Structure 1
Amino acid sequence: MNQKIENKVLTPTLIIIMALATGLVVASNYYAQPLLETIAKAFGLSVSQAGFIVTAAQLGYAAGLMFIVPLGDMFERRRLIVLMTLLSAAGMLITATSSTVLGVIIGTALTGLFSVVAQLLVPFAATLAEPAKRGKVVGIVMSGLLLGILLARTAAGLLAAVGGWRTVYWVATVLLILVAIILWFALPRYKQSSGLNYPQLLISIISLFSRNTILRTRAFLGALSFANFSVLWTSMAFLLASPPYNYSEAVIGLFGLVGAAGALAASGAGQLVDKGKASQTTSIGLVLLFLSWIPIAFGEVSIWALLLGIIVLDLAVQGVHVTNQSVMYRMMPEARSRLTAGYMTSYFIGGAAGSLISAMAYQYAQWRGVCITGAVLSLMGIVIWWMTKGKIAQETVQQEEVQA
């Protein structure tokens, strides 16, 4: 049974606060990526050894998705969100003050573990939103999340150039503390009791996905779309650092701004879901994802083609992602945190697999191999959606009848 929410009005200001908070929190997982070479020199490491810092962030985030996000269906949301934001800031502080690489890894892992607070803010926004505007709200908050991922590298590069790599973590620590304070005063108190203890809560995630075709399909489409995102962004730096471009790291980091344009454009996908057009939005997003690899493939010889492809790909990835989450949050309001945990774990696995496959493709077949890999993954998503679309439509009607 749900407790009464202090303030049922989700104001435009609160939506923006939640979107900005989501972006700043999730960005903490990506600051290290453009700083690896600098950190490696500071501690006398090889670049491959410094790579364990990014691995620590990924492992921490994965653990948080599975074991912390479901707690949103047990505990009071505002207190849990603020506490996790402060713990994420503590991880940043440990990294900023560490004199050994072990300290950096521990701080990064803790930050990754608790930065999943972003995945509590998204379903919380869906809970506070009016049903007719839920998709729009999810789209705005998710835009904040993707912007955080895309712009973190650019911000880290600029701050490191001004004051060194530790400056990035000091600034991030202060920002997260400020975010926690703002959220404490801005968010309403809200608690939802699932009637399950913690082990039952975790087991129920598997149960939810095992008996629901919609959730399984949406999770798989999410994994494939984020795999496409990782395939592009993992190897693009290799392309841009090589002839004919020979761009510096600072210039390469600015390409995140291009991706941000696509992310913002996709926020309207949630509004289409509100109008009952989730199926059309999904189909369009998957087709655009496939088509985006055509201009990206010409990126070897044309920077304008690459820029166009980046915008279309990020637009499609974000559009599919927003649609997936909007559909899920409409179906099972009593289990939104658990649905987020299961869906985002699949999403994360897809992204990690995309990074791995992308690096291998570039090693063996250069940029052409990367583009073929992305196109094949996109085509898989289209085929899966085409095969399950009819069954999903039937289940959606059945669930709407039950809710009515």
Structure 2
Amino acid sequence: MSRRLILLLALTCGVAVGNIYFPQAISPLVASALHVSPDSAALVVTAVQFGYAAGIFLLVPLGDRLPHRPLVVTLLGLTGLGLLAASVAPALPPLIGASALVGVTTVVAPIIGPMAAGLVADDQRGVVSGTLLSGSIGGMLLSRTAAGTIGDWWGWRGPYLMAAAVVLLIAVVMARVLPTTRPPSGHRYPELLAESLRLLRTEPDLRRSCFYQATVFAGFSAVWTTVALLLTGPTYGLGAPAVGMLALVNAVTMLCTPVAGRQVDRRGSDAVNLICMLVVIASAAVLAFGSLGGALGLAALVLGTLLLDVGMQSGMVANQVRIYALRPEVRSRLNTAYMTCAYLGGGVGSWLGARAHAHFGWLGVCTFLALLAAVALACHLPATTATRHPRATVAAQNT
């Protein structure tokens, strides 16, 4: 693949992924306009994440069965229609339903990832995965910035209309530039769905990669779902654009994932995962100072979310490189299992994060993040030891 095509694919990933995250910045505006509580408005974020998990499980396996160009273009078109439906929702329940539909169809990034991995050399997969993930991170962060600003100008419906226009434009571009690919599998659709579950049962490295990402991403989602409530609440009294500006500061993480990819290519996934989990735990400690308010609190939120984003995204690169190396002929199905678990964790994390914030405030959210990262670390350390000392592990098992 040419570098130009890789960058276009990264842009497409960013546009698709941004649809999952921009509602986080405007949930206070939704609450005010539709006359519901902030915690109820946060259900829009939860719905799109659970929808995304369902879409990954149901639709991403088709990347092993159908040509990529018509599949990607069709999904982008359906996403645009879902965003238009959300923009005219008259109340919270229809908005939640439209958000779930957007989540189901905006699953282009996990389809493009395995496709790109099959079009480059083995020793370039880490770099390409990191580049595509940088595009996804850009969409994740910049979509919140744009949504906060547009929502402040035009209300909460404006970001949905803008997102619909961008998605439909990208669909036209992808129809022209995506290469013709040959599906690697001739299995029927029910067999593809069953294969993802079977891979989870039979591949230990896939299971632990899923667990690492689900736990860390749950904490990540809890923080970014509730930080809007913190910034717009009495502690800071800021508007929706403040959430977008916080996300914009974290755009530096787009530069970190290609570096993480190179480190994975050199040192292996386990070493990078270990560092990332420690970084996430450190981020929880820094974020806790955000409850103080004022300049010190804002500085803590900036540094803490930066550490959290770097740790979570770099860990995702490590996990994806690990699973892509397992069985090249079923990469889409491996990615289906992995991303489904990740976004199920994210959806649960968003919901539990909103509950923690409602009952225990911001410190409760930070504690929740630290506990999840500690659980992931506790499960990772024995696996790392087993990888470094395989003979000792086999001897202990035989004994």
User: TM-score, normalization: structure 2?
Assistant: 0.88
1:237-277 alpha-carbon deviations (Å, 9 max, x no partner)? 33333455332222233111123223432331111222243
Equivalent pair of 1:159/1:168 in contact (CA under 8 Å)? yes
CA distance in 2, matches of 1:168, 1:240: 19
CA distance in 1, matches of 2:105, 2:388: 36
> Hey, what does 1:176 align to over in structure 2?
167
Equivalent AA in structure 2 for residue 18 of structure 1 = L
Counterpart CA distance in 2 for 1:218 and 1:145 is 19
2:395 match: none
Distance change >3 Å, CA 174–CA 228, structure 1 → 2: same
The answer to whether structure 1 residue 133 and structure 2 residue 124 are counterparts is yes
After superposition, the Cα gap between the structure-2 partners of 1:243 and 1:340, relative to the gap in structure 1 and judged at 3 Å, is same
- Following superposition, the deviation at residue 319 of structure 1 comes to 0.6
Q: Does the alignment pair 1:113 with 2:108?
A: no
Aligned 1:224-373 pairs, distance under 5 A = 224-242=215-233, 244-301=235-292, 302=296, 303-373=298-368
Unaligned runs of 5+ in 2: 391-399
Q: CA deviation at 1:60?
A: 2.6
Aligned mates of 1:293, 1:239 — CA distance in 2: 15
Give the structure 2 partner of residue 84 of structure 1: 75
SS state at 1:116 partner: coil
Q: Specify every segment of 5 or more residues in structure 1 that has no aligned partner in the other structure, as ranges.
A: 1-9, 396-404
Distance in 2 of aligned mates of 1:49 and 1:376: 25
Write out aligned runs for 1:46-61 (5 A).
50=41, 53-61=44-52
Give CA deviations for 1:21-49 in whole Å, capped at 9, x if unaligned: 11111212333344445445656666566
TM-score by length of 1: 0.87
Q: What is the DSSP-based 3-state SS (H/G/I as helix, E as strand, rest coil) of the residue aligned with 2:186?
A: coil
Give the aligned residue type for 2:221: S
Tell me, yes or no, if structure 1 residue 379 matches structure 2 residue 374: yes
Q: In 2, are the aligned partners of 1:35 and 1:156 still within 8 Å (CA)?
A: yes
Q: Is the 8 A contact 1:263 1:314 kept in 2?
A: no
2:46–2:351 contact (8 Å) kept in structure 1: no
Relative distance call for 1:289 and 1:47 in structure 2 (3 A) is closer
Q: Which deviates more, 40-49 or 268-277? A: 40-49
Structure 1 residues 200 and 20: alpha-carbon distance in aligned structure 2, compared to 1, 3 A threshold: same
Structure 1 Cα separation of the partners of residues 24 and 338 of structure 2: 25
Give the Cα–Cα distance (whole angstroms) in 1 for the partners of residues 236 and 156 of structure 2.
26
Per the TM alignment, residue 300 of structure 1 is displaced from its structure 2 partner at its CA by 2.7
Aligned to 2:17: 26
- C-alpha distance in 2 between matches for 1:361 and 1:51: 13
User: Does the aligned pair in 2 maintain the 1:223–1:351 contact within 8 Å?
Assistant: yes
Question: CA offsets per residue over residues 122-146 of structure 1, 9 Å max, x none?
Answer: 2212222221111111011112112
Residues 270-323 of structure 1: per-residue CA shift (max 9 Å, x gap): 112222432221111111111222222222332223322211111011110011
One-letter identity of the residue aligned with 1:256: A
Does residue 1:195 correspond to 2:186, yes or no? yes
Mean CA deviation greater in 16-25 or 190-199 = 190-199
Checking the alignment, whether the CA contact within 8 Å between 1:258 and 1:310 is kept in structure 2 is no
**Contact kept? 2:65, 2:185, Cα under 8 Å:** yes
Q: Residue 207 of structure 1: CA displacement?
A: 1.1
Distance 1:241 1:40, change over 3 A: closer
CA gap 1:306/1:31 in 2 versus in 1, 3 angstroms: closer
Would the alpha carbon gap of residues 40 and 228 (structure 1) be closer, same or farther in structure 2, given more than 3 Å must change? closer
Contact 2:83 2:161 in 1 (8 A): yes
Work out which of the residue numbers 62, 68, 72 in structure 2 matches 1:71. Answer: 62
In structure 2, relative to structure 1, the CA distance for the partners of 1:279 and 1:146 (3 Å cut) is: same
Question: What CA distance in whole angstroms lies between the structure 2 residues aligned with 1:238 and 1:157?
Answer: 13
- Cα distance in 2 between the residues matched to 1:353 and 1:97: 27
Q: What's 1:156 paired with?
A: 147
C-alpha displacement of 1:155: 1.0
The CA RMSD over aligned residues, in Å, is 2.5
Q: Percent identity?
A: 35
